[in-house]
Structure 1
Amino acid sequence: MARLLTPRFALLTAADLGYFTAVGIAVHTLPLYVTGPLHSTKAAAGVAFGAFAISALFLRPLAGRLTDRLGRRPLLLGGAALAAAGLALTAFATDLPAVIALRLLLGVAEAAFFVAGFAALVDIAPPDRLGEALSLNSLGLYLGLAAGPPLGEVLAQRSFATAWFAAAALCLASALAVLPMGETGTPGQAASTKLIHRPAVGPSAALGASLAAAGGFLAFSALRAQEIGYENTSLPLFLYGATVVVCRLVFAKVPDRVPPLRLGAIALAVIAAGLALTAVPHLLIAGSVVLGVGVTFSTPAFFAAIFATAQPHQRGAASGTASAFLDLGLGGGPILLGLVANVSTSAALAAGGGIALLGCLWTIRLRRAH
């Protein structure tokens, strides 16, 4: 069996850990920052949270093309450095338009880093262990999302500026991890000329539904916990991330053994059930754990289905296409559900479960078509 755990794999995972711990800090801090010092509404918090997706959505396909033409490393370095600048400048933002402008800048960074990171991972991973590679590499992402919110809570108690500067420093650490990794692709050699990799659109749409549902939880779980009376408002986010990390370790080989669209449909059904539980006050914690179980399998399943449609010189384009739907989910979900959250955060979480259920039905249809 080909070796998976190489120095390059470890460096890429470390870079992801730094970057997404910074994202985790922002996930917890941003809604409280907008509704606290900036004196804006919950709907405004949803808009600010999802604003990064507007720029990222349009730039992901371009980032995919640049990843195939210029290589993975330049976009990983540039994305991490730009994210560091955007997060540091957020400490100086004194009104909602400034925060939204910086979130748009972070969308540019996200497009470059995320697209190049997934293309590099597929370059590095043995083809017959891609699902396992996606599961293990994503530990950096979910450890970051698990550790970032409680870290953000501790830092924000000192000051919001401290939280933003710490997040920026983590992004710089991520860039340093990329430096010795080297280039993993073959820049410019028969690179895809298409911005959209059409065979990837179907499974990417299902991925977007799973992330729209999860994005609503990320945006509003801290506010929901605050409403219920939790002293530790980051607890649901921590348990969600920790559940994903543990399950990804224990079940890392499952995505290589179950057909990806079948696994994706099951995962979406579990996500829908988890969000339905979070809408019930005394079941917020249980729902956070169930949601984490569903998300454990959804991303590896759908990315395996997406990259199965791409040749090596099309991996950047496939990653860009998938990432565009990721932005529609993580950005559009909080914005749409934010309108509901302005009336009731419980209803917003339940509506997120409805989105996941629709995604499950779409995935079943895709699987039958295949």
Structure 2
Amino acid sequence: MSKPQLWTANFISIAIANFLAFTSFYYLLVTLPVFAIQDMHEDEAAVGLITTVFLISAIVVRPMAGKWIERTGKTVVLLIAFAILCGASAFYFFAYSMPALLVLRFCHGIGFGMATTAAGAIVADLIPESRKGEGMGYYGLTMNLAMVVGPFLGLTVMQQGGATLMFIVNAAFCVLAFIGGLLVRLPKKEASQVVGVKDASSSGLRGFIEYSAIPVSLVAAFFALAYSAIISFVSVYAREIGVTEAASYFFVVYAVVLFVSRPFTGRWFDAYGAHVIIYPAILLFAVGTYLLSVSASAPLFLLSAALIGLGWGTVFPSLQTIAIQRAGPEKGAAATATYLSIFDFGFGVGSMLFPFIAVSIGYGTLYFYTSFLVLVGLAVYYALYGRSSARADETQ
């Protein structure tokens, strides 16, 4: 019996659009602080607000975006979101004061939060149920790839062409993402669904938060704490241990491992279930973080990148798949919004706390303790999801 098709034109279009949106996010994540310090002559302490304000608006808007999707439809919210991204990208040319930049970042975060929520809900509808783990794995790969492409292009463009060219390229990402969104055509059953119908489950907070997705989302937020330390300091740490040249290849190795492993991990998720994939992936994440903490050479540094990529790169989409599956197709948008909001909260907390910890104990020591934090995640996963899932399987 042949498998249902995964790589449809719609799936490819939404995956590309999501990749471009996340590329823009990571592109500005590394370039705007440099722009604020060099071109706007802002204090380094204030520059941290550029990311914080963005994440706050994205976190706040996602639950509301899930509600809007239920009322107006996924594609409508997606295109509005991409239009906001395009508009925000145009205003970066004129934001030459910190207050103006922070207001713009807040608006940009609203568009990003809406776009990623709608895109996640759309892709959940497009992926056949029997290939959900595999499909969400490939979709998650677009975010991981953006994490490599965005910073690399951002720093390269800024060094070669300055701020103006940097903002032009960012605007191009957003326009192309909008075009990708226009190409998405949902199945007829989705297009014909009635929107705007209220039921008891959509009243109050239930309309904004999908409660069934909260436990596994909290697991993701816990791991996001560790992940935020890695992505924030790895290049600084590389300079500290004398492997500066290898730093630029860290996320390249990370991405290559994801590309090689994704066809297998997603299929194993569908065939054998979440536990068979997630427990080993958490262990690999922990081992990779430990090796990073003791790296004294480029080969060991890059080996840690491979293990972190295989571990975390498998855990993140697997947990998102669980959140969507537990909620059911009709609550996919709310589940996606809940998952990403709680994940971003964990990432944001880590981004605020770890800089102070790193200054006190050093980056190597921080990664050493972080590896044990990841191991604690095994118990967190079991307590918040694994135990209840095992009981549910026993009763079936």
Q: Say which is worse superposed, 183-192 or 109-118, in terms of deviation.
A: 183-192
Cα 1:237/1:34, change in 2 over 3 Å: farther
One-letter amino acid matched to 1:279: S
Question: Could you say what the CA RMSD is over the residues aligned between the two structures, in angstroms?
Answer: 2.7
- In the TM superposition, residue 87 of structure 1 has moved relative to its aligned partner by 4.2
2:208 aligns to what?
Answer: 195
Work out whether residues 142 and 242 of structure 1, in 8 Å CA contact, stay in contact via their aligned partners in 2. no
Q: Which has the higher contact order (CA 8 A, sep 6+)?
A: 1
Deviation by residue 1:179-224 (Cα, 9 ceiling, x = unmatched): 1213453351656612111111101111122233223322222333
Which residues of 2 match residues 148-167 of structure 1 at below 5 A? 148-158=150-160, 159-167=162-170
Give the Cα separation in 1 of the matches to 2:359 and 2:261: 33
Aligned to 1:324: 341
Give, in whole Å, the separation in 2 of the partners of 1:201 and 1:268: 19
CA distance in 1, matches of 2:51, 2:280: 28
Matched, 1:70 2:86: no
Distance 1:216 1:81, change over 3 A: farther
Corresponding position of 2:24: 22
Match of 1:209 in 2: 222
CA spacing shift, 1:130–1:183, aligned 2, 3 Å: same
Change (3 A) 1:301 1:93: same
Note closer, same or farther for the CA distance 1:338–1:162 as it changes in structure 2 (3 Å cut).
farther
Q: How many residues align?
A: 369
Q: Find the aligned partners of 2:163 and 2:83 in 1 and give their Cα distance.
A: 21
Task: Could you list the structure 1 runs, at least 4 aligned residues long, displaced by more than 6 angstroms after superposition.
Answer: none
Counterpart of 1:181 in structure 2: which amino acid? V
Instruction: Give the conservation status (yes or no) of the 8 Å contact 1:261–1:301.
Output: no
Query: Is the Cα–Cα contact under 8 Å of residues 149 and 234 in structure 1 kept in the other structure?
Result: no
Q: Does the CA-based 8 Å contact 1:145-1:238 persist in structure 2?
A: no
TM-score by length of 1: 0.88
> In structure 2, what is the Cα distance between the partners aligned to 1:309 and 1:14?
26
Q: 1:129 to 1:362 in 2, by over 3 A?
A: same
Decide whether aligned partners of structure 1 residues 78 and 2 sit closer, same or farther in structure 2, where only a CA change above 3 A counts. Answer: same
Aligned-partner Cα distance in 2 for 1:203–1:244: 22
Quick one: distance in 1 between partners of 2:237 and 2:12? 36
Alpha-carbon offset, residue 297 of structure 1: 1.3
Deviations 1:297-354 (A, max 9, x none): 1122212211222232211111111111121123222122222234434344445444
**Alignment partner of 1:308: what SS?**
helix
Taking structure 2 as the reference length, the TM-score comes to 0.83
Q: 1:7-51, CA deviations, whole angstroms, 9 ceiling, x for partnerless residues?
A: 11111111122222222322433454456554544x655553343
- Structure 1 residue aligned with 2:393: none
Amino acid paired to 2:174:
C
Instruction: Tell whether the 8 Å contact from 2:72 to 2:196 is kept in structure 1 after alignment.
Output: no
Matched, 1:335 2:338: no
Matched, 1:369 2:388: yes
Contact 2:58 2:341 in 1 (8 A): yes
Change (3 A) 1:274 1:168: farther
Which range moves more in the overlay, 81-90 or 101-110?
81-90
* TM-aligned CA deviation for residue 165 of structure 1: 2.7
Unmatched 5+ residue regions in structure 1?
A: none
The 2-side partners of 1:177 and 1:110 are apart by: 15
Tell which deviates more after alignment, 188-197 or 7-16: 188-197
State the match for 2:289 in structure 1. 275
Which among 154, 177, 180 is matched to residue 180 of structure 2?
Answer: 177
Question: Structure 2: any 5+ residue segments left out of the alignment?
Answer: 390-396
Q: Deviations over 1:117-150 (max 9, x none)?
A: 1110111111111001101222322222222222
Cross-structure match for 2:232 = 219
Correspondence for 1:247:
261
Counterpart CA distance in 2 for 1:70 and 1:200 is 22
Does the 8 Å CA contact 1:90/1:164 hold for their aligned counterparts?
Answer: yes
Between Structure 1 and Structure 2, the one with more helix by share is 2
Shift of 1:60: 1.0
- 1:1-370 pair list within 5 angstroms: 1-33=3-35, 37=39, 38=41, 40-41=43-44, 46-90=48-92, 92-94=94-96, 97-158=99-160, 159-183=162-186, 185=190, 186=193, 188=195, 190=197, 193=202, 194-229=207-242, 230-231=244-245, 233-282=247-296, 283-343=300-360, 344-350=362-368, 352-365=370-383, 366-370=385-389
Tell me the CA shift for residue 253 of structure 1: 1.0
Change (3 A) 1:369 1:252: closer
- % identical aligned pairs: 24
Over 3 Å counting, the alpha-carbon distance change for 1:181 and 1:83 in structure 2 is same
Distance change (3 Å), C-alpha of 1:259 and 1:315: same
Counterpart Cα distance in 2 of 1:205 and 1:167: 32
